[in-house]
Amino acid sequence: MAERPLEGITVVSLEQAVAAPFATRQLADLGARVIKIERPGGGDFARRYDTTVHGHSSYFVWLNRSKESLTLNVKDERGRAVLDQLLARADVFVNNLAPGAAGRLGLSPAELSDAHPRLIPCTVSGYGTSGPWSDRKAYDLLVQCQTGLVSLTGTGAEYARVGVSVADIAAGMYAYSGVLTALFTRATTGVARPVEVSLFEALAEWMGQPAYYTGHSGAQPPRIGTQHPTIAPYGAYTAADGRDVLFSIQNEREWDALCSEFLEQPEVRDDPRFATSSARVANREALNSLVSARFARSGADAVTEVFDRIGIAYAEVNTVADFLEHPVLSGRDRWREVGVPGASVQALLPPVDIAGTSARMDPVPDVGEHTDAVLAELGHSADAVAALRADSVV
């Protein structure tokens, strides 16, 4: 087995919550050594979001495998000296500190680049480190609201948040890809370029289609549950046995097959209300009545059997419990056992497979689990470490 792509790369991260930890966990998946700096005592506050995974937070377990945990008070000059030692050896420094905190600590990208020319600083912020909102705190749902995403999600009667931390995930993905790009640039040019990502701008990119639609039509896409705002039929319908099946018509071949083979009403194909994609959207309510009436005559298995036969894509509306038992995950051997303090859990492999190598799937660390080892590696004696611990520096 070849070494992992980022073997030999060291990442130091002053991180908390979701966005930055998601970025650095993916770097760890590829073999990077990630040293996660946590507050002495409680550590990353995401450790206490819930206690559902053998007493540990589901967020923390998801985001922090394969990392080393070092507790360090970086506001203490002795803790800051330890951080400087780490940064002198590191390739990447990631932080998602509160607005202005990195600058107050002397950890701005400019200062870091001057002190450590080969270090790649990566800043994850809420609304950017400059501009009118640079001093605002930002959490995932706040950014979902600010970008307009919440106004698109739900039903006509009620807004809804996206069910996962989509702004954090978007920012974490762009921070991850930005760091990889910066590492490539450093390898090919010798120049280490700082990386910056904000939650707002990451999710703004994901809002591209509704932004164009709204800007050029004068009205934003409607909130219509599982229905699609610009394609019909496209959504979930309830079969006779109470199970929901979502399906999509993407082209005229599928529309013809739906009318002839599923609705069993070939004349509907050329009905002026439904003859084009835009007409079907404009007459969605009437079309939904036809489709719902047909669904009410058959159970979900019978519906999907027809869809399979005529080549129409569909999905049963699974619960999370259904997803955990999904045959694609088991059939493709995507689960691995990962340690957590005092237990172990099943974790999914990262979604990108790189031929000839395997993802790193090491344990989730306890708070400060690696403090003594990291400090000893930096040349601190056991007595010196004990003194730092006595003063709550580590």
Q: How far apart are CA 362 and CA 186, in angstroms?
A: 28
| pLDDT value, residue 190 | 96
In tens, the pLDDT along 310-324 reads: 999 999 999 999 999
**Which sequence spans correspond to the domains of the chain?**
10-207+334-390, 234-316
Which tokens hold the place of 177? Answer: 């890809």
- Domain 234-316: CATH superfamily, name plus number: formyl-coa transferase, domain 3 (3.30.1540.10)
Q: How confident is the model at residue 230 (pLDDT cuts 50, 70, 90)?
A: confident
What mean pLDDT value characterizes the chain? 95
| Residue of 92, 115, 65 whose CA lies nearest to 176 | 92
Mean pLDDT of 330-355: 96
Q: Report the C-alpha dihedral over residues 59, 25, 335, 141, rounded to 10 degrees.
A: 40
Tell me the mean pLDDT in the region 39-66. Answer: 95
Neighbouring C-alpha atoms within 13 Å toward the C-beta of 259: 16
Rounded to 5 degrees, φ, ψ at 96 are -130, 50
- Mapped onto helix, strand or coil, the DSSP state of residue 38 is strand
Q: Is the pLDDT of residue 2 over 80?
A: no
Cβ atoms within 10 Å, residue 205:
11
Q: Are 40 and 392 in contact (CB under 8 A)?
A: yes
Instruction: Please name the amino acid found at residue 295.
Output: F
Query: CA quadruple 22, 24, 25, 29: dihedral positive or negative?
Result: positive
In 3D, which of 107, 91, 103, 100 has the Cα closest to residue 135?
100
Domain 10-207+334-390, CATH 3.40.50.10540 — does that match?
yes
User: Can you tell me which residue has the tokens 């002397």?
Assistant: 106
